[in-house]
Chain A
Amino acid sequence: MCRTKKHIDTADVILFEGLTVAALEQDDGAAFIGRLLEREKVSGRLAGSSGILDGDLAERFYLNEVRVIERLEGERTRLMAEIDIYSQNQRAVRSYSPKFPLPPTPSFFNKKD
């Protein structure tokens, strides 16, 4: 008797691919991340499923996921740069001490000796 494996739920597959494509089509980083967060529930089911995917479909999903990972890495790099700029701003604000009639403004500066 041939033993067959059960395929993953079709609805999950359709939803997953739809959300993935929708996320990749977003130009805005926040929207892209939002779509991926929505996809997370389905992702969990897909990743944990012992079912199989048709070879072509799995290939397509694999390639999509590679693109998703690239976008996510880009977003992370951008965020790190933004954090760096912000921390430099804060550092500059703390370290700058005026020498003129403008008095130091305690609310903005936290002078650490």
Chain B
Amino acid sequence: MKIALAGYPLTQLFGGETQKKTGMRAQNGFLGRIDVPVLSKVPDKAVVKYLQAIDAILSDIIRIVDDNAALTGSEDITAVSRKMPQQAFITPQDALIYLPAAVSTGEGDVSSGELVIIKNVLQPGETDISGEPEGSAAVSLSRDIARGLPGIGVGMGMKEEDLTAPFVNTAGVKGTPVRSGPVEATKDILSLSGKKDGQTASQGERVEEESYEAAMPDIGTFIGPADLSEKPPGVSIRFIDPAGMGVSGVASGKKDRIIIESMTSLAAAVNDIIGSQVETEEGPGNAAAQMAVARTTVKEAVKESLLMALRYGQGGVAPSGGDPFGLRTDEKGLLRVDRAMFAEALAGKKEETFRFVNNFGSSFHDRISYFFHPFAGLYAGAPDAAGLKEPGNKEGVADDREDRKAGFEKRLGELQMLLKSSYELKESFMQKRLSGQNVPDEETY
């Protein structure tokens, strides 16, 4: 997400006065053109810098929660794998999880067996997030992956006992062929699942699989990096790259920490602009005046966005219990983040919190991007009073787009022409420099 750095589109004339075309509604049959003496069309660098920082942080936060919302919502789960680049090679750092044919995808269909390959989740010698060494880290990882898979729409309907399905970890096989049939597969597969038929597989122990009900089909031979461009019959293959998605079925704790840190940074950036005090003796049109209106605008945007996000979560009613997610504005309008409460909300009611963060961030971004105006602070909450455009009215916005494009084209044309001319002049001067050295002068300059 980016914001238009020039703020609301304005056309500046010589002399500093500005005339802005407005979407003024027809009154008594007349459409008026309002001359609005406003500040310079180019926001001060400080204002732009703050807004850029806010926009960047908002983008990060919303990207993270958007990805998570996309996975747990009603969006087509196949879109998840479509988003990711299909990488045909398997490396020892990938985790392979085979879901037997009996597992339902949750859509009423029975899958034909699915091989889920999660890219780059294992690193040689790496400990897991709880600090355990690699062997048990792989076990913990596989269990966590299994538990997390339904959350991302894979293997939905899988029950706890389905965790006994064989999990294959290429770090364990390291080039050993994966064969078909339960018995042979047993010899080659390092089973990292938990309980099976009353037995408990200890970490790293090879488990006899004669009693496995779900047989691993022949999924081919993987020796070192394997090319999966041709799918084995009867098995669908899905690649998941947690790094590319920004979502990790395993490292959800890390993601929460990122969100908390990002929200804290956002609060700091917002409070910088709200709490800034620029003193100057000059009148309107300077940096101080711009900062003053930016302060008011951002303060109102934060308050309205927070209220909107809270109301949405409560079914359109303002919450009575204060700040359920740890975010609030204080008496000065500064954004306050209670990290402990926010972390608790993320842990306890994740979807609701993600939805709140998404709503808040989107609303805040839209208010800054589309309703920011040098005088918007004075008309906070009543943009109509300033004659600002409402969404749905194409006039003015489209004009500005065309103006900007025309401006760019004109400037680019001028630069191209001047460059061509300068290069010719350079050549000419070089030749004249050489030819003027040996010829007698008719008149000397």
Contact = CB atoms under 8 A, between A and B. Distances in A.
Interface string A5-30: 11100100100000000000000000
A33 B408 contact: no
B445 A57 contact: yes
A69 to B, nearest CB: 5
Contact of A6 (B398, B423, B437, B442): B442
Interface in B397-426: 397-398, 401, 404, 408, 411-412, 414-416, 418-419, 421-426
Contact of A100 (B312, B408, B412, B429): B312
Contacts of A54: 436, 441, 444-445
Contacts of A31: none
Interface in A39-83: 40, 43-44, 46-47, 52-55, 57-59, 61-62, 65-66, 68-69, 72-73, 75-76, 79, 82-83
Interface of B: 1-5, 66, 69, 73, 308, 312, 355, 358-359, 362-363, 366, 370, 389, 391-394, 397-398, 401, 404, 408, 411-412, 414-416, 418-419, 421-426, 428-430, 432-433, 435-437, 439-445
A52 B439 contact: yes
B408 A82 contact: yes
19 contacts: A7-B443, A33-B414, A37-B418, A43-B425, A46-B428, A47-B425, A55-B433, A57-B445, A58-B430, A58-B432, A62-B429, A66-B426, A73-B419, A79-B411, A82-B408, A96-B1, A101-B312, A106-B394, A108-B391
Contacts of A37: 414, 418
A36 B418 contact: yes
Contact of B422 (A52, A72, A79, A101): A72
Nearest to B438: A55
Contacts of A76: 412, 415-416, 419
A112 interface: no
Contacts of A58: 429-430, 432-433, 436
A5 B370 contact: no
Give the interface SS of chain A, mostly helix, strand, loop or mixed. Answer: helix
Contact of A65 (B401, B429, B436): B429
Contact of A89 (B3, B66, B394, B443): B3
A10 to B, nearest CB: 6
B366 A102 contact: yes
A86 B207 CA distance: 59
A86 B408 contact: yes
B415 A72 contact: yes
Contacts of B445: 7, 10, 13, 53-54, 57
A49 B208 CA distance: 94
Given A36-B422, A102-B366, 13 more contacts: A4-B442, A5-B439, A33-B414, A37-B418, A53-B436, A53-B445, A54-B441, A58-B430, A58-B436, A76-B416, A86-B404, A92-B2, A101-B312
Contact of B415 (A5, A7, A62, A79): A79
A100 B313 CA distance: 10
For the side of the interface on A, what is the size category? 35 or more
A27 B358 CA distance: 43
A98 B364 CA distance: 13
B131 to A, nearest CB: 37
Contacts of B441: 4, 7, 54
Contacts of B444: 7, 54
A106 B391 CA distance: 7
A37 B393 CA distance: 39
B3 A47 contact: no
Contacts of A47: 421, 424-425, 428
Contacts of A98: 362
Nearest to A14: B445
B416 to A, nearest CB: 8
Nearest to B412: A79
B442 A108 contact: no
Contacts of A73: 419
A43 B218 CA distance: 77
Given A6-B442, A59-B433, A107-B397, A101 B425 contact: no
A69 B391 contact: no
A59 B432 CA distance: 9
Contacts of A72: 415, 418-419, 422
Contacts of B394: 106-107
A65 B422 contact: yes
Given A47-B424, A62-B426, A99-B358, A53 B432 contact: yes
A107 B445 CA distance: 63
A76 B415 CA distance: 7
Nearest to B309: A100
Contacts of B1: 92, 96
